[in-house]
Chains A and B, each alone.
Chain A
């Protein structure tokens, strides 16, 4: 048990990433407000980004800039951070598109609550 705790404390970025991931999922699935759903998605994605960046980090390793005069024994892995730049760009575009959709939904239904929107659109179909 103590060993497990110690491992968790040493690898705290992963632990935080997992917690954030679940907070994100819960927010997406349980909240009916469209903005909160979107925020949940963003939290989830940040958790995954954090997971990647943590995976690239090596404690006490050098910044990955190769200096021929002063070579270091261990460098941080820069690849995951570079990948996550792309991931962040994707996440921003998803957020922008979702916000545009929320604006359209608000104009059409006058609310940002997904339950009310579902109710209104059912009534609209009957009428």
Chain B
């Protein structure tokens, strides 16, 4: 029994959330049971991801390959658990559990009836399943299918609230995201016609030849992939859907959309860029420089836009645009330190931003107000929530002892190694701007006097989820060892494969 589970673990990690998502809707209005099942599936995912991460971590250089349906790689769909996949799987599971725990009272208040909350959870699990699949899959067309599953469930999560604003944000997200998927699919088509393979490793080998005979097709494939995934990952000029979508979604959905969904697309882009095209071809088409420049522009533009927002959730949403820039910058550095920094920062940002959105959701639910200036005095009234928010802010700014610092430090090391002054300046300036837009929130909450208005403190489950995320942010910041090692190994695999 245990042997069978271990053998099929890579597939089970993807299938478990999907199965639970299909069990949920027939439950009707039994919310308690549904929540129990969702939490159970989150725990199962965490165990599975931890098991896989442990297996990968203890066997350096080896990766677990799983053939769907027993068909061998060039024809069948291959799932591969390498360092990058294990890293992202563990991250998904780590963010998933607290987010599931969070939305007990607030979610019902935000979305409406219990039946709607159950449907919300069904879509949520669908998204988690798709993200886990995106971490593992090695098949290009499978990437497209999972990306579409993730996109539709993201859009549906955004539209979960009754508010017309939610439908509007969801529609523009859907249109732009589908535009992006068409680009991705066309890019996959270009790779397929020039190599004849859909498996990433095989396509990568064949592309080396195709790169000499028909470079123009590859140039097209590159640009279609970059634009397609750029729209989906909200890379700066293509980010316009993100602020509306992430700020109108219910708090747990915002946490997952900002923390994980956007990252899933980046993981796919990373795999396609590095394993299919390979560093040599990327350098030939100046892709690293494009990524680097796009990253720096995103950091600066996103941070400045965040400064201009006076609604808390919108400010956090724009901050995501800026932080995505850091990850793209890491991709563009093309050295081990920088890429590992980008990968680690992906985790640091996912945990901190999920923490920030959940804390913001709790604060908004307590006060019923959206403006940052309305949060005065909350530091005393909601100590746990505000402490969590502060930890998230400090981590995102990049203060030592928090997860964000390790990622930013690695990025800085990488940028110094590559000798790019632009990148180093962008990283530091982004941190300063990040402090400028997050710390005022903390200051207003702790040091300004509040009116006598009573606030509704979050329940035990909400507090527990905030504490869990805060603790993982701290643990990742103080003992980054195994995680950083996984990120470094992933970077080495990605850079050294061709």
Query: Do these two chains interact?
Result: yes
- Residues on A lying within 8 angstroms of B by beta carbon are 21, 24-25, 28, 34, 37-38, 41, 44-45, 47-48, 51-52, 55, 79-80, 83, 86-87, 90, 93-94, 97-98, 101-102, 104-105, 108-109, 114, 117-118, 121
Cβ A105 vs Cβ B167 within 8 A: yes
| Contact of B69 with A by CB under 8 A | no
Cβ B171 vs Cβ A101 within 8 A: yes
Cβ B170 vs Cβ A101 within 8 A: yes
Contact A44:B168 (CB < 8 A) given known A38-B175, A80-B192: no
CA A51 to CA B220, docked complex, whole Å: 14
Cβ B164 vs Cβ A104 within 8 A: yes
CA A104 to CA B168, docked complex, whole Å: 9
Which of A21, A86, A94 is within 8 Å of B174, CB to CB? Answer: A94
Contact A41:B168 (CB < 8 A) given known A48-B185, A48-B189, A97-B156: no
Report chain A residues within 8 Å CB of B186: 21, 48, 51
Count residues on chain B whose CB falls below 8 Å from chain A CBs: 27
CB distance from B313 to the nearest CB of A (A): 14
Report chain B residues within 8 Å CB of A83: 141
Which of B172, B178, B192, B198 is within 8 Å of A55, CB to CB? Answer: B192
Between A and B, 29 residue pairs with Cβ closer than 8 Å are: A21-B182, A24-B182, A25-B179, A28-B179, A38-B175, A41-B182, A44-B179, A44-B182, A45-B182, A45-B185, A48-B182, A48-B185, A48-B189, A51-B189, A55-B193, A90-B145, A90-B181, A94-B148, A94-B152, A98-B175, A101-B167, A102-B171, A104-B167, A105-B171, A108-B164, A108-B167, A109-B164, A114-B172, A121-B164
Cβ A101 vs Cβ B159 within 8 A: yes
Report chain A residues within 8 Å CB of B193: 55
Question: Other CB < 8 Å A-B pairs besides A86-B145, A90-B181, 14 of them?
Answer: A28-B175, A52-B185, A52-B192, A79-B198, A83-B141, A87-B185, A94-B152, A97-B155, A97-B174, A101-B171, A102-B171, A104-B164, A117-B168, A121-B168
CA A24 to CA B186, docked complex, whole Å: 14
CB distance from A89 to the nearest CB of B (A): 9
Which of B144, B152, B172, B198 is within 8 Å of A93, CB to CB? Answer: B152
| Contact of B165 with A by CB under 8 A | yes
A-B contact count (CB 8 A): 76
Residue in A closest to B172 when the chains form the complex, CB atoms: A114
Report chain B residues within 8 Å CB of A47: 182
Cβ A98 vs Cβ B174 within 8 A: yes
Contact A105:B168 (CB < 8 A) given known A83-B141, A87-B185: yes
Residue in A closest to B174 when the chains form the complex, CB atoms: A98
Cβ A55 vs Cβ B168 within 8 A: no
Report chain B residues within 8 Å CB of A109: 164
CB distance from B84 to the nearest CB of A (A): 25
For window 158-207 of chain B, which residues contact chain A by CB distance below 8 Å?
159, 164-165, 167-168, 170-172, 174-175, 178-179, 181-182, 185-186, 189, 192-193, 198
Cβ A97 vs Cβ B192 within 8 A: no
Residue in A closest to B177 when the chains form the complex, CB atoms: A94
Cβ B189 vs Cβ A52 within 8 A: yes
CA A53 to CA B164, docked complex, whole Å: 39
CA A97 to CA B160, docked complex, whole Å: 13
Report chain A residues within 8 Å CB of B178: 41, 45, 94
